Amino acid sequence: MRKFFGTDGIRGQANSEPLTPHTLTRLGQAIGLHFMRGDHHHRVLIGKDTRLSGYMVESALAAGFSSVGMSVATVGPLPTPAVAMLTRSMRADLGVMISASHNQFADNGIKLFDPDGFKLSDQVEKEIEARLESSLFLVGPSQLGQMVHLDDAIGRYIEFVKNSLPRHAHFEGLRVVVDCANGAAYKVAPLILRELGATVIPLATSPNGLNINDGCGATAPQLMCEKVKEENAHVGIAFDGDADRVVFADECGGLIDGDQVMALIASDWHERGILKGNGLVATHMSNLGLERYLEILGISLVRASIGDRYVAEKMRDEGYNLGGESSGHVIFSDYATSGDGLLTALQVLTVLMRKKKPASQVLKLFKPLPQILKNVKLSPDLLQLPEASEVIEKGRQTLNNKGRLLIRPSGTEPLIRIMAEGEEERVAREVVESIAKALMMLSQRDVA
């Protein structure tokens, strides 16, 4: 078990453990020492989203890195995938993104990338935590790391994303609503879409440190959907706080999730003969409707553990070049090492322009099965009880092999997530509610 790391780095409330200046400085020291190998000059690249606490987290981590002899290069607010890309292209020893992704401003977190731009494995995270339990070596005054700011980081990322498109691709004549969640994409997303010729209607592009993900962005896309209809736009795009994921709206304001996006790209790449392994890697949260749609096309759906880094690991291990999550993380391994919302948006818009059809026809390729998800604030330890196992097995029997049931602890919050999927929404909902009620009763029994 890991003490600090969850499914996507470290996350918690800012200025509370483990995100206090003292602990963050020690984390910087432990992380830095782990990646200081060889006798070259060691460097770490640090990016962040727009949270007020980002300044504190950045300063504390930088102090830790410097104190063990690692120099720091900061890039300011940029999407998480930009940090991964820059870490790799600059030959840095480590990349750090300061963000709590889709959470509200009071939370923050740390996502780490190795020199190749990939998120760390569970084993590496355990090794870093083990270092925190021992004495950390600090260098002498003459070996302290330096700190610089990279002024051209946004331009480098823009050119990288553009290079994923065909040379003459453009979005002339396309009206696009772009919701940046008052987060990391607030500058770069509207800029690159305008450079490619789109007419951009911006939303949530005025961050103040407190309004990130506040009624906007990928986890609150209603504003974007309404704006599409109001502005007669062709499509809407909504990023989350660190812009590693994205959801869409068609011209009618209908919401398009990551499963539909993956269906579009997989079918398009399959048709063009560039889908490696003739398959798509998704997680256990992806809808059964996606799996059935791909099966008709002769494309396999390979499921990985929940979390885009697990998707990326399976893609690398088994040779696939497309994968993602229903939440909107999509990984194009021919271009990037992690989920990239802006890269995904450009790929989708390119297909939309080529097909010359309304988004409602291009982006809705299958009918999802009813999927009911409920989060309950209970200890994940309850799932270890025999009584809990019995209740869960009963739920599976109720679905009668015509759906799926997934119960798991959240990797970022103290929650148990219950998901049921089936042919009938009523049955799926009854299964979820019965399991949630039973777990609550078990929790009350244990407290008593």
Question: Mean pLDDT by 10-residue block, N- to C-terminus, for the chain (448 residues)?
Answer: 84 96 97 92 97 98 98 98 97 97 96 96 94 92 96 95 92 97 98 97 98 97 97 98 97 97 98 96 94 96 92 96 96 96 98 96 95 90 89 89 85 82 91 92 75
Tokens, residue 204: 């949530």
Name the pairing type of β-strands 300-304 and 255-256. unpaired
For the domain 258-340+347-362, what is the CATH superfamily, name and number?
Alpha-D-Glucose-1,6-Bisphosphate, subunit A, domain 3 (3.40.120.10)
Helical axes 258-272 vs 341-355, angle rounded to 10°: 60
What pLDDT, on a 0 to 100 scale, did the predictor assign at position 448? Answer: 54
CB-CB contact of 205 with 190 (8 Å): yes
Quick one: CATH architecture of 371-447? 2-Layer Sandwich (3.30)
- Whole-number Å distance between alpha carbons of 240 and 180: 7
Tokens, residue 73: 């290069």
Name the pairing type of β-strands 403-409 and 416-422. antiparallel
Q: Which residues are catalytic?
A: 101
Q: How many CB atoms lie within 10 A of CB 355?
A: 13
Span 5-151: which CATH code?
3.40.120.10
Tokens, residue 279: 């398959």
Residues 6+ apart with CB under 8 A from 336: 81, 84, 85, 117, 164, 343
CATH for 157-240 (3.40.250.10, 3.40.120.10, 3.40.50.300, 1.10.260.40): 3.40.120.10
Where exactly are the structural domains of the chain? 5-151, 157-240, 258-340+347-362, 371-447
What pLDDT, on a 0 to 100 scale, did the predictor assign at position 447? Answer: 55
Longest dimension (CA), the chain: 68
What pLDDT, on a 0 to 100 scale, did the predictor assign at position 401? Answer: 72
CA-wise closest residue to 266 among 224, 308, 315: 315
Tokens, residue 121: 């494995």
What pLDDT, on a 0 to 100 scale, did the predictor assign at position 261? Answer: 98
What pLDDT, on a 0 to 100 scale, did the predictor assign at position 2? Answer: 73
Asked, colleague to colleague, whether 157-240 and 258-340+347-362 share their fold, the answer is yes
Tokens, residue 91: 């030959």
The pTM (predicted TM-score) of the whole model is 0.90
Which residues lie across from 375 on neighbouring strands?
417
Q: How far is the first Cα of the chain from the last one, in angstroms, to the nearest whole number?
A: 28
